[in-house]
Structure 1
Amino acid sequence: MAAIGDEASAMDNSARASAAQSAALNPASSGGGGSGSGSSSHVEAPEEAAATPPVAPKKPHTNSDGGVETAEEAVEPAEPDINELCTDMFEKMAIFLQGELTATCEDYRLLENMNKLTSLKYMEMKDISINISRNLQDLNNKYASLQPYLDQINQIEEQVSSLEQAAYKLDGYSKKLVSFYAGCPRALLAMGNTLPKTGPGYG
């Protein structure tokens, strides 16, 4: 209701202003047959009326009590430019993809470096294994060259063991002989006394 009252007052003010302008113009047209001074004053009146700006109607305002919006024409927000939005989107998408691709490239570069280092380590291990194989081959060749001597050593060891057994047997036999001949002189003396004494010395 307050907005409608404001509109009515604004329309009333504009109607009064237009009536004042028409009243200022009508006396000048009706008094054209008077004196020269009157005609000059009437001629100057339209110029003054034309120079006087019309009263602008009051803009309706928002009632602070009721919080009702006035009948002002709502200003629509300007539509965003689709081309600019698309350009901005593509630029940001390009930055994002560039970052993702950069991170992926860094990962692949790291993997490449790791593969290079691994290949170098494998080459070193290959050289070490080749050296070990060569040394083992040399050792096998030396062992093969020493095999006859080892066989001779085994034969000598067998002969020594057999000689040792023979020495043990001889030792035992010699002990038996010693014990046997230790009692033989007495037996021989006893036998000599009993034997007849015949011979060239006995007559």
Structure 2
Amino acid sequence: MIVGVKMAAAGEEAAALDSVRVAAPPAVLNLRTDTDQREDLGHDGSSENVGPAPKKPTNNNDGGVETAEEATEPAEPDINELCRDMFDKMAVFLQGELTATCEDYKLLENMNKLTSLKYMEMKDISINISRNLQDLNQKYASLQPYLDQINQIEEQVTALEQAAYKLDTYSKKLEAKFKKLEKR
């Protein structure tokens, strides 16, 4: 129900306040008198022109405040039918919301399963890599004595090479002395 509210104001404020409407609570009292209602129904009591009651000027001096009157609305369809319709629509809405939520949870469950499978695959791969690394470390450990021998042989070859250079240098000096002695 809508109740018109009018207050005493000056100028533009009065015009703006005239158009203000406030929603009335469901248990609004009918402030109109029996004579007002009879006038709305017509002189013979029929309800041909039922509508909002015209405002009557007040003769009391209460600072320009007018009284509020209840606005009448046309008869509404059966309340029970409207309630059933509302509850049916609310049930459909809630069912849709719950279905969407269930679908979201199913999606999350599937994503979690796939993630779990991926982690299992990664775990298997890392276990294989670890095994292969251990095998490589064992092979390297078994080859280590041979690598040490290769390093020793390389050092010996380097030492022999240095000795060969020294011997070559010494033999050249001897040859030069021998040629000197021969020429004499």
Scaled to the shorter chain, the TM-score interval is 0.5 to 0.7
Question: What is the match of residue 136 of structure 1?
Answer: 133
- 5+ unaligned residues in a row in structure 2: which ranges? 1-41, 51-73
What is the alpha-carbon distance in structure 2 between the residues aligned to residue 178 and residue 70 of structure 1? 159
Give the 5 Å matches for 1:1-203. 73-74=46-47, 78-187=75-184
Residue 72 (structure 1) shift = 7.2
**Residues 65-103 of structure 1 deviation map (CA, whole Å, 9 limit, x = unaligned):** xxxx99671167545332222221111110000001111
Structure 2 SS opposite 1:183 = helix
**Residues 134-179 of structure 1 deviation map (CA, whole Å, 9 limit, x = unaligned):** 0000000000011111011000000000000000000000000001
**Residues 7-45 of structure 1 deviation map (CA, whole Å, 9 limit, x = unaligned):** xxxxxxxxxxxxxxxxxxxxxxxxxxxxxxxxxxxxxxx
**Residues 40-62 of structure 1 deviation map (CA, whole Å, 9 limit, x = unaligned):** xxxxxxxxxxxxxxxxxxxxxxx
Between 1 and 2, higher relative CO (CA 8 Å, sep ≥ 6) is seen in 2
Question: What is the match of residue 34 of structure 1?
Answer: none
- 5+ unaligned residues in a row in structure 1: which ranges? 1-68, 188-203
What is the alpha-carbon distance in structure 2 between the residues aligned to residue 186 and residue 106 of structure 1? 111
Name the amino acid aligned to 2:138. N
Structure with more helix by fraction: 1
Residue 112 (structure 1) shift = 1.0
What is the alpha-carbon distance in structure 2 between the residues aligned to residue 90 and residue 110 of structure 1? 30
What is the alpha-carbon distance in structure 1 between the residues aligned to residue 135 and residue 148 of structure 2? 20
Residue 184 (structure 1) shift = 1.3
Residue 133 (structure 1) shift = 0.7
Residue 186 (structure 1) shift = 4.0
User: Between Structure 1 and Structure 2, how many residues are aligned?
Assistant: 119
What is the alpha-carbon distance in structure 2 between the residues aligned to residue 141 and residue 152 of structure 1? 18
